[in-house]
């Protein structure tokens, strides 16, 4: 089963609000088994345009686990804090598994 990844791009407009979001979101991430792979404020754009001034990539055991975290009651209390503090994009991606011969 492929892993699931949540990618957030954030154009932060309220640093204190994002700090409050981080405090509120951390327990839901820990409870869901999320592994933060990337938290970067300086993406190096190689082609096209990139949204925001911070990118976050979270890894989950599966796409279903990632969706369950995003839909969870514990994250539902944190999400509005992020949405108020930043213009955000969020996507859910399925990891790639090499075909076995």
Other beta carbons within 10 Å of 18 = 19
Span 4-36, pLDDT tens digits = 999 999 999 999 999 999 999 999 999 999 999
The residues facing 55 across adjacent strands are: 9, 40
69 within domain boundaries: yes
**Residues of the domain holding 85:** 4-94
More confident residue, 101 or 93: 93
The confidence score (pLDDT) of residue 25 equals 97
101 within domain boundaries: no
**What CATH number corresponds to the domain at position 22?**
3.30.70.100
100 within domain boundaries: no
The confidence score (pLDDT) of residue 1 equals 84
Span 38-97, pLDDT tens digits = 999 888 999 999 999 999 999 999 999 999 999 999 999 999 999 999 999 999 999 998
CA distance 101 to 81: 47
pTM of the model: 0.92
Domain count along the chain: 1
Instruction: Compute the radius of gyration of the chain from its Cα atoms.
Output: 14
The confidence score (pLDDT) of residue 96 equals 92
21 within domain boundaries: yes
**Closest among 63, 64, 76, 65 to 24, alpha carbons compared:** 76
């Amino acid at each position: 089963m492929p892993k699931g990844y949540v990618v957030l791009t954030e154009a932060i407009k309220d640093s204190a609000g994002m700090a409050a979001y981080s405090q509120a979101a951390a327990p839901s991430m820990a409870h869901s088994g999320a592994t933060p792979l990337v938290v970067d404020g300086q993406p190096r754009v190689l082609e096209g345009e990139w949204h925001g001034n911070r990118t976050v990539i979270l890894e989950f055991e599966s796409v279903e686990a990632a969706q369950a975290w995003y839909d969870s009651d514990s994250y539902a209390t944190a999400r509005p804090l992020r949405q108020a503090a930043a213009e955000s994009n969020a996507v859910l991606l399925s990891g790639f598994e090499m075909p076995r011969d």
